[in-house]
Amino acid sequence: MKKFILILLICMNLTNIQAVEQQPEYKIIANSNQQDDLDQMYNIKNKLLRDYRNWARGVNQVDQVLIDHCHQYDATYKEGLYLIVLGKGKGKSIQGPLKVSYCISSKDIKKKSIIQSLFSSK
């Protein structure tokens, strides 16, 4: 019995669990496939992304912010999905992640200093 508990404790300490925060997503469904409805869908998407940047700035509970602002878009927020249905919702849909910043670069940023460059020998 002692060996079993010892092996169990060792296995528990060797297990690595990584908690990853789920990033909220949006999905907007148009009323129909007519061009006016699709234009309205894209306008709402752009407005939502702009508003989300303002709502989430400096906030820890992003889920609560989205729940609080559901009434502005007649939306529902469930399990990380912010769903907006326009009209009957029989048209095309668009979806994507809600991010505060969409600027992603794969390049490393090198910090430069004017004073350091003056006194460096390179």
- Lowest-pLDDT choice from 5-9, 18-22, 103-107: 103-107
pLDDT at 122 over 60: no
How does residue 103 score in pLDDT terms, banded at 50, 70 and 90? low
d(CA 78, CA 81): 5
Q: Across-strand partners of 78?
A: 81
Do 91 and 38 meet the contact criterion of CB atoms below 8 Å apart?
yes
- Burial code (b: 16+ CB inside 10 Å, e: under 16) for 12-28 equals eeeeeeeeeeeebebeb
Res. 17: pLDDT tops 90: no
How far is CA 106 from each of CA 79, 96, 97, 103, rounded to the nearest angstrom? 30, 20, 19, 10
pLDDT confidence bin for 16, thresholds 50/70/90: confident
The band of 102, judged by pLDDT with boundaries at 50, 70 and 90, is low
